[in-house]
Amino acid sequence: MAQELDRDFRHDQDLVPQIEQLAEQVKTEEAKPSPQADRIESDAQINAVAPVQADADDRAPPGKPAKKTRNDELAELINVAAAHDDHKDDAGTAKPTVVEQFPLPGTDTPQHRHDAAADRLKLIKESILAEDATRSNAKVDKDDTKGHERVQHQIEQRFPNVEGLADACQKISATAVKGKDAAHAQAKVTEFEGTVRAFQDAYLSTYLMSTDGAAPAKPKGILLGPGAKKQIKDWGTTPVKFAVPAAKPDEVRVGANMSHVDVAGGNALSAGWLQFNGNKVSKIENVSGGFRPGPLRNAIVLERLQELGFVEDDLDGTAVNHQRDGTYDGAELGG
């Protein structure tokens, strides 16, 4: 399982010393009395974080644009999904946006860019807290042993300092945007955006553990693909549960009248509810009492659904409900 979970993060160990080095430079920057002092070179340090999302084969030759990595695609998909948010309350009124666009264009003001990065950092932290929460009636404990790790523990073990680095850069960026040096502010915001993106990439590589009970020997949810057409037809527009199994991250499992851990057959990278309209997915929602998936994890299943042909590349015809804490409180499909 560990090898499968790390398939897009094979440079974890290379990333650790680079993050530590950057953290030391951030400490030096924080200690400087004036924002006019020598600055951290933004491009070099943001690129130093890149191995969290790039395999060696994906690195572009000098002078050529970098090849998109899976995490680049996920980051873009998060923004596309945010634009397709269609979450409404019982009265049919649109709910406040949970996922904001990040990063904002470089042509936007440093303050706006800083605020967008800060909002994303806050959302990631809130998602981790929700995912690591244990219900009072939990049947299985998240004790940080293998296969039972909290998300926070996974990040701390695989990406030491990545969260702390984002926190430190947030403080530096906040100070810079209040100053009068626009170029300095832009540079500090760019560094902050880079560290938040690295934290996001690390977060999306973690698995979720359900507290609903022991995992079955194999997934009980059906494998979504050509062989599922009859079952999809039988379900019609009735919402059903989905999960992207951590053990087989290229799969999407779907099921009804069972727990999410049974659908997945164990830990999951993403989970929730979805609704079909013919052979297309018309709506998804990150809701699960046992997994409590954060809203950014919707991008993980959307990527798989795109590749399987159940969702259009631009998400045309697919609404995305973003539940802030991943629980059933206020849920639409899973309510």
Q: How far is 65 from 145, CA to CA, in rounded Å?
A: 41
* 63 in a structural domain: no
Number of other CB atoms surrounding residue 104 within 10 Å: 18
Task: Write out pLDDT tens, residues 207-239.
Answer: 999 888 888 989 999 999 999 999 999 999 999
Token pair of 289 as six digits: 């009492």
Residues 180 and 234 in one domain: no
Q: Answer whether residue 21 shows pLDDT above 80.
A: no
Residue 278 lies in a domain: yes
Place of tokens 């919707």: 298
Helices (H) and strands (E) in the chain, counts: 11, 6
Q: What per-residue confidence (pLDDT) applies to 53?
A: 38
Q: Is the model more confident about 211 or about 266?
A: 266
Q: Do 49 and 165 share a domain, yes or no?
A: yes
Q: In the structure, what pLDDT confidence band is assigned to residue 278 with cuts at 50, 70 and 90?
A: very high
Of the residues 204, 239, 259, the one at which a domain ends: 204
Average pLDDT over residues 236-265: 97
Asked whether residue 29 falls in the same domain as residue 77, the answer is no
- Cβ atoms of 224 and 231 within 8 Å: the answer is no
Is 163 inside any structural domain?
A: yes
Question: How do beta strands 253-255 and 280-285 pair?
Answer: unpaired
Among left, alpha and beta (phi > 0; psi -120 to 50; other), residue 144 is left
Residue 61 lies in a domain: no
* Whether residue 41 is found in the same domain as residue 76: no
10 Å Cβ neighbour count for 289? Answer: 17
* Dist. CA 181–CA 177, nearest whole Å: 8
Q: Is residue 245 a contact partner of residue 267, using CB atoms and an 8 Å limit? A: yes
Print the domain residue range for 151: 2-56+98-204
Same domain, 6 and 122: yes
Instruction: Say whether both 77 and 92 belong to one domain.
Output: yes
Q: Where do runs of H (alpha helix) occur along the chain? A: 2-5, 12-31, 42-48, 70-83, 110-132, 151-158, 162-177, 182-204, 229-235, 260-264, 298-308
- For the cut 60, the answer to whether the pLDDT of residue 4 exceeds it is no
> If you average pLDDT over residues 251-261, what whole number do you get?
96
**Please, what is the average pLDDT of the chain?**
85
Residue 62 within a domain: no
Q: Does residue 142 register a pLDDT over 70?
A: yes
Specify the DSSP class assigned to residue 237: T
Same domain membership, residue 103 and residue 229: no
Alpha-carbon gap, residue 51 to 18, rounded angstroms: 9
Domain shared by 118 and 138, yes or no: yes
Residue 273 in domain:
yes
Model confidence at 327, in pLDDT bands (50, 70, 90)?
A: very high
d(CA 195, CA 103): 12
26 and 38 part of one domain: yes
What is the C-alpha separation between 51 and 199, in angstroms, rounded?
12
- The number of distinct structural domains making up the chain is 2
pLDDT > 50? residue 242: yes
- In angstroms, rounded to a whole number, what is the distance separating the alpha carbons of residues 299 and 259? 21
Q: Alpha carbon of 10 to those of 119, 155, 202, 299: distances in Å?
A: 28, 14, 12, 21
What are φ and ψ of residue 96, in 5° steps? -60, 145
Looking at the chain, the whole-number percentage of residues with pLDDT higher than 90 is: 69
- Co-location of 87 and 179 in the same domain: no
Q: Does 104 have pLDDT greater than 70?
A: yes
